[in-house]
Structure 1
Amino acid sequence: MKRQNLCGEHAAQSANGARMTASERFDAMSAALATSVGEREGLIGLVLLGSASDEARGRRDEWSDHDFFTLIETGRGAEIRPDLSWLPDYDRLVLTAREGDIGFVALYDDAHIFEFALADAEEVDGARAGDAAVVVDDKSGTTARLLARARARASEEDRFDPANDVRLVLVKLLIGVGRVRRGEALNGNAFIRQWAVQLLVRAIRGRFAAASTALRDTNDPMRRFELDFPIWGARIAAALDLPIEESALNLYQLARQILEPGWSEFPSRAADVVALRLGWT
């Protein structure tokens, strides 16, 4: 099936053979990826996501990687997924790995990363997308339709329930500290430094929704949180650098200091119960 490459042909290096800058290398890899997908039999679409897309290139820096999904002709996933030789500069890859059934990562010898899904339209039909660009599609526009649904879904789900999220913060902290005191430090760390923090960030974004700018990631509330809430982001990050129980206490205190004042939905009595149980009074 003929695919349409919507971003044109690529040049592997500058016309005079000079070494490419990081930005030029990134653009060259994007173009080469589009060409590779367009030429690979069985692949019908390519969507560049996040800072890999042109609309979000202003966020791109030296740490940006390529996030994308590549569409396979329906029913051919099992056949096509084992062979990644279509990736550009394949000889420069130092590793590839699977993430679930349809997710992949690829690492190049200059430490550049590809993170991508390789699936047919049905397999990624539940996906969400924010900044994105279709660069390869089939004649019927399968990829464009999929992206439109993914964007609509992200918009619908870009909502928070801060009252519920802050309740969960308290529970995760209580469980996490309990696990640590029981001797399960690894599991306790996950409850405190991972789940409680994610829920606290969600609660703050929901409680102060007007402060979240267009820079936010509609798929991951943790992304660029510090840009929208620089002071609170710095204080949460500092709390994570403390020993685990101090970290939990600081997160608890931040939840109360940031969210409780003037908010009738804050679970103050439950917060007092957690503090009493953990000896934080």
Structure 2
Amino acid sequence: MAAPVRFDTLSAGLADAVRAHPDFAGIVLLGSASEDAADRRDEWSDHDFFAITREGRGPVVRPDLSWLPEQESIVLTAREGELGFVAVYDDGHVFEFAFSDASELAGALAGAATVMVDDEERTVARLLAESRARAAAADAFDPANDARLVLVKLLIGVGRARRGEVVNASDFVRGWAVRLLVRVVRGRHPGGSTSARDTIDATRRFEKDFPDWARRIEQALAQPVEEAARDLFDLLCELAPGWPEFPTRGADAVAERLGWTSTRAGTRHPSPSLPRAVS
């Protein structure tokens, strides 16, 4: 939530802190925090980064976050797993970062990024190159498989809701199923995805690439969990015509099991908004 000058000041403060710390190898700013994607920044942009420690020092220095800039303005810090951390400043600005040795980030993914500080062995540059290569390899859609998974998540989610586990059901429907449905749309209509697309998280900036699909998914999610699931099912089935790989038998079975006999996959028609989404 920082203004441009404030954002740059915090970036410089991070770089200075890492340079001054003997246990750090370097730092790389990610996403809109990087120079590569500075044009995407707005008032809600956070600082995402990897803070890389010298080999073997990560577990030792991780408990100490006193190196973060402007300590007096930090109102909270928290851990997300073993390597992930967050810090929030009194103006609402957020740092989200991995704080570890390079070897501990062996599975990391990265897209837009800027190396701010590196050591003499170019540890951070090498980590970034490997993370980008992994992200590029993972940046491939399998819409038929994702469609099958959407059906599974909806079936499980509605079952949980009917059992009374509404919170857990919502995670399956509003979380898993939606993320997979977005991947199906992008995979079926790759021409609709622009350069704004996040290669790591398919839901990021989906509204810019497929505004009509995004609007209809949002409308579905505004409903109670089972009604939301049924509308997401309908949206998925609208992709079936002209797609031989669509899991029609699976969709029919899910509809039958849930009593949604009026919304079988075979009765679906293309969405009137699809041409706009693909253009």
* Same topology, TM > 0.5: yes
Q: Are 1:280 and 2:264 counterparts? A: no
Q: Tell me the alpha carbon deviations over residues 184-234 of structure 1, each in whole angstroms, 9 at most, x when there is no partner.
A: 111111111111111111111111122212211111111111111111011
- Deviation sequence 1:85-105 (CA, Å, 0-9, x none): 110001110110011111100
| Partner secondary structure for residue 39 of structure 2 | helix
How far the C-alpha of 1:156 sits from its partner, in A, is: 0.9
Give the equivalent residue in structure 2 for 1:167: 148
Partner of 1:271: 251
User: What's 2:265 paired with?
Assistant: none
- Deviation for aligned residue 1:125: 2.2
Matched, 1:125 2:91: no
Deviation at 1:237, TM superposition (A): 1.1
Corresponding residue for residue 205 of structure 1: 186
User: How far apart, in 2, do the equivalents of 1:122 and 1:180 lie?
Assistant: 42
From 62, 67, 80, the counterpart of 1:86: 67
Q: 2:95 maps to what in 1?
A: 114
Describe the superposition over 1:47-78 as per-residue Cα deviations: whole angstroms up to 9, x where unpaired: 00000001101110000000000110100112
CA distance, structure 1, for counterparts of residue 59 and residue 242 of structure 2 = 55
Letter in structure 2 aligned against 1:206: G
Task: Give the conservation status (yes or no) of the 8 Å contact 2:85–2:99.
Answer: yes
Aligned match of 2:41: 60
2:22 partner amino acid: E
Q: For residue 27 of structure 1, report the CA deviation from its aligned partner.
A: 0.8
Question: Structure 1 residue aligned with 2:240, among 260, 264, 267?
Answer: 260
Look up the SS of the partner of 2:245 in the other structure: coil
Within 1, Cα distance between the matches of 2:240 and 2:176? 20
The answer to whether the 8 A contact 2:30-2:112 is kept is: yes
* Deviation digits for residues 156-180 of structure 1 (CA, Å, limit 9, x no counterpart): 1100111010011111111111111
CA distance in 1, matches of 2:137, 2:121: 26
The CA distance in 2 between the partners of 1:70 and 1:47, in whole Å, is: 7
**Worse-superposed segment, 126-135 or 205-214:** 205-214
Q: Residues of 1 paired with 2:25 and 2:249: CA distance?
A: 56
Say if 2:165 is the partner of 1:184: yes
**C-alpha distance in 2 between matches for 1:215 and 1:261:** 28
Describe how 1:218-233 pairs up with structure 2 within 5 A. 218-233=199-214
Q: Report deviation, 1:40.
A: 1.2
SS in 1 for 2:25: strand
Q: Give the alignment's TM-score, normalised by structure 2.
A: 0.91
The CA distance in 2 between the partners of 1:107 and 1:176, in whole Å, is 34
Aligned equivalents of 2:59, 2:254: Cα separation in 1: 49
Q: Percent identity over the alignment?
A: 61
Alignment of 1:17-166 (within 5 A): 22-166=3-147
2:193 counterpart letter in structure 1: S
- Counterpart CA distance in 2 for 1:150 and 1:213 is 22
Counterpart-to-counterpart distance in 1, 2:177 and 2:213: 15
For residues 241 and 19 of structure 2, the distance between their equivalents in structure 1, rounded to whole angstroms, comes to: 55
Q: In the aligned structure 1, how far is the partner of 2:89 from the partner of 2:154?
A: 39
In the alignment, does 2:229 pair up with 1:248?
Answer: yes
